[in-house]
Structure 1
Amino acid sequence: MSIAGQWDIAVDTPMGVQKSVLSLATDGQTLSGELLNQFGSTPLKEGLVDGEKLTWILQPMIPMPMTLKFEASVSGDTISGAVTSTLGTSPLTGARKA
């Protein structure tokens, strides 16, 4: 499973669909990268690869400080999963950028 690269993702939140570009890299079981959207760039923290499961945390400051916990998996050129925050859990979908 190759997950390195850029992904167009969408998270269906209670505040509407949030679209972003997710850049991912791996080094063994360590997952790193950043999320870029209209609010700026936020680095991934505590990123892990466990088989097909990917987990990481984002702590954006804009539009408000929050902690977002991501769980996702990659299948070919698609990514799917969920994001958990104080607002609940929201589905994540996306595709590898061409």
Structure 2
Amino acid sequence: AVKSVADKLRKRTGLLDDGAILVDHAFGGQKPMLAINALMTKSEQDEQKGFVNLLKGTFGMFRNPTAHEAKVNWAMSKEDAEDLLSLVSLIHRRIDKAIMPPRA
């Protein structure tokens, strides 16, 4: 499920990166390619940074272990899997609604 987030980011931005680097290039910095809000106020900028951290944390905790470990070594409970799917759904929705602010 988490791999689909990276796929969506690549489709929205045209970037070829992966993981935290993809997130930084898409949502990071003073003039991001994608923004989840207008980035006009400190609060909106903090929300953007929080979303960047949420994405990086999701990749680090859920995608990287499943991509690099054998399934037998990485157990997830049904409850955790359901929660992860809810989180990924939220992330997808926020990416879908993200705007592409001017970068000039």
The TM-score with structure 1 as length reference comes to 0.24
Which structure features the higher share of helix residues?
A: 2
Greater RCO, 1 or 2 (C-alpha within 8 Å, sep 6+): 2
Which structure features the higher share of strand residues?
A: 1
